[in-house]
Amino acid sequence: MATTTTRWHELADRILDGGAIDATEALAVLDSSDAELMEVVAAASRLRFEHFGNKVKVNYLVNLKSGLCPEDCFYCSQRLNSTAGILRYTWLNTEEAVTAAKAGIAAGASRVCLVASGTGPSNREVGKVSDIIEAIKSDTPGVEVCACLGALKDGQAEKLCASGADAYNHNLNTAESHYEEICTTHTYADREHTVSQAHGAGLSACSGFIAGMGETREQLVELAFDLRAKGVDSIPVNFLLPFDGTPLEGVDTLNPRDCLRILAMVRLVNPGTEVRMAAGRERHLGHLQGMGLFIANSLFLGDYLTSEGQPGAEDLQMIADAGLEVLQMDGAGQVPHHPATPGTAPAAVPGAAPVTAPAAHEKQEKKVAIRTRGAGTSEPANA
């Protein structure tokens, strides 16, 4: 029988040889002991380096419209009836959006993510975002632009694509079997539909999730396999920021080692897909954040939509400290496209145990730092 050391490397060997991990093995990654953690990271890291070398893709978020959403996603500070003290504003104009994007590009971002709260855009709003995309592309032709505007209506993905958008983000957020626990105003199927519309229009599909919302380990595995089946090109992995004033206020169940295991599991299931460390990485990975870069090949620089990240300069230093390099934009397009692998999503295991809560001494209660600079303010951006 393989020792624990060779067990994870044998799994990586098999995946590197073109094989695949199954749901039982993916669950074993999440269940692995702290003593095995470095071996799990090392195995996932071999896949990361195989597909992405030593490059880190830096993304930069521009929140075009903040708050005031009629949907009720329980984790979201912008949701219906949220009393979180976030910035609330309607659409940035083109000049404001371009200025915000430039701050991220100047700091090294090769992809700008244009995000707006809401159920989904009107055709007029898609026109407005298309103008912004064209302006950003005309200013910096090599940069990738990803739009994230909610559920799309017929023809809107095509319009965004025609204006020069490279990608569309629409997160699945949690497993299908858990979706009713985190939202009542739309369904998992609604989200799947938008991912497929974006993909169908020729946009690179970006779709990820938020860990730490009461889902079981089995549901995290279910989700990772569903993302693989959908053939998404990039997977943002968020860790729940429990905003005061939302239904998930105070929910704080993750620890840094579990976060690394989640990243490793996602990488092992989706070896050649961009895996992006997203919101909550600072809070939940803590001092292990840099280690996450040996699994994920991408991050968001600076602040998030409604919360503050660590200073952008620290993000860049973290990349350099790990011996990694920021991926440069090349103007020729860097967006990978992966064919969908249908039928590979395993069934959820009912009644499974939730992700283990950390020991009380591991984390002090901490409020989420609300973003008060950058887009929608007169303060300089954190980039």
Q: Which residues bind ligand SF4 (CB under 6 A)?
A: 69, 71, 73, 76, 78-79, 117, 150
> Up-side HSE of residue 25: CA atoms within 13 Å toward CB?
20
Query: CA–CA separation, 226 vs 343, rounded Å?
Result: 9
* Rounded least distance, CB 150 to ligand SF4, Å: 6
Q: How many CB atoms lie within 10 A of CB 185?
A: 13
Q: Is 69 annotated as a binding residue?
A: yes
Tokens read off for 97: 């959006």
- The amino acid that residue 271 corresponds to is P
Axis-axis angle for helices 4-16, 256-269 (nearest 10): 40
Q: Between vectors from CA 156 to CA 150 and to CA 157, what angle results, nearest 5°?
A: 80
* Rounded least distance, CB 81 to ligand SF4, Å: 10
Q: Is 161 annotated as a binding residue?
A: no
Q: Is 76 annotated as a binding residue?
A: yes
Q: Is 146 annotated as a binding residue?
A: yes
Nearest CB to ligand SF4, comparing residues 251 and 322: 251
Axis-axis angle for helices 256-269, 23-31 (nearest 10): 160
Nearest CB to ligand SF4, comparing residues 306 and 334: 306
Query: CA–CA separation, 264 vs 351, rounded Å?
Result: 24
* Rounded least distance, CB 68 to ligand SF4, Å: 9
> Up-side HSE of residue 145: CA atoms within 13 Å toward CB?
29
Tokens read off for 314: 């620290």
The owner of tokens 């895996």 is: 275
Nearest CB to ligand SF4, comparing residues 104 and 150: 150
Nearest CB to ligand SF4, comparing residues 102 and 186: 186
Q: How many CB atoms lie within 10 A of CB 112?
A: 28
* Rounded least distance, CB 71 to ligand SF4, Å: 4
* 143 neighbors 105 (Cβ within 8 angstroms): yes
* Rounded least distance, CB 218 to ligand SF4, Å: 24
Nearest CB to ligand SF4, comparing residues 171 and 334: 171
The owner of tokens 């549901």 is: 219
Q: Is 113 annotated as a binding residue?
A: yes
- List Cβ neighbours of 315 (8 Å cut-off, separation of 6 or more): 58, 299, 301, 302, 309
* Rounded least distance, CB 238 to ligand SF4, Å: 11
Nearest CB to ligand SF4, comparing residues 150 and 280: 150
Tokens read off for 7: 């067990």
Nearest-Å Rg of the Cα atoms of the chain is 19
* Rounded least distance, CB 187 to ligand SF4, Å: 12
* Rounded least distance, CB 320 to ligand SF4, Å: 33
Nearest CB to ligand SF4, comparing residues 69 and 109: 69
Please name which of 273, 258, 170, 179 lies closest in space to residue 223, comparing C-alpha atoms. 179
Nearest CB to ligand SF4, comparing residues 78 and 297: 78
Q: Which residues are annotated as a binding site?
A: 69, 73, 76, 113, 146, 206, 276
Q: Which residues are annotated as a binding site for [2Fe-2S] cluster?
A: 113, 146, 206, 276
Q: Which residues are annotated as a binding site for [4Fe-4S] cluster?
A: 69, 73, 76
